[in-house]
Amino acid sequence: MAIDPTARVPAAPTGAAGTSGNHDTPPGVGRPGSGSRREFLRFLGVKVSGAAVSLVLVLFSAFFIFRMIGGDPVRAIGGDAPMTPEQRAEIEERLGLNEPMTVQFWEYVRSLFTLDWGTSYVNNQQVTTLMWDRLPNTLLLTGTALVLAAGLGIWIGARAGWRPGSFFEKSQVGISLALWSAPTFWLGMIVIIVFSVQLGLFPVNGMRSGRGVADGFWPQFLDVSHHLVLPALTMAAVIYAQYVLIMRSSILEERGNDYLTVAKAKGLRDDVIRRRHAVPNALLPTVTLIALQFGAIFNGALLTETIFSWPGLGLLFYQAIRVPDIPLLQLLFVFFAGTTILANLFADIIYRFLDPRVRGTS
CB count in 10 Å sphere of residue 19: 12
Cα–Cα distance, 131 to 331 (Å, whole number): 8
Give tens-digit pLDDT for 256-281.
777 777 877 887 787 788 877 788 77
Q: Which range has the worst mean pLDDT, 32-46, 50-64, 144-158?
A: 32-46
The predicted structure's pLDDT at residue 100: 85
Cα–Cα distance, 121 to 95 (Å, whole number): 7
- Cα angle, residue 67 at apex, residues 65 and 73 outer, rounded to 5°: 135
Burial profile 118-139: b = 16 or more Cβ within 10 angstroms, e = fewer: bbbbbeeebbbebbeebeebbe
What fold is seen in the domain 135-358? MetI-like fold (1.10.3720)
Residue 355, classed as helix, strand or coil, is coil
The confidence band for 19, taking pLDDT boundaries of 50, 70 and 90, is: very low
Average confidence score pLDDT of the chain: 81
Q: What is the DSSP string of 272-333?
A: HHIIIIIHHHHHHHHHHHHHHHHHHHHHHHHHHHHHHT--SHHHHHHHHHTTT-HHHHHHHH
* Contact status, residue 303 vs residue 317, Cβ threshold 8 Å: no
Whether this model's pTM surpasses 0.85: no
The confidence band for 90, taking pLDDT boundaries of 50, 70 and 90, is: confident
Domain boundaries, the chain: 135-358
User: According to DSSP H, which parts of 96-216 are helical?
Assistant: 101-114, 127-162, 167-181, 184-191
The predicted structure's pLDDT at residue 360: 54
Give strand pairing partners of 119: 126
Q: Which amino acid belongs to residue 46?
A: V
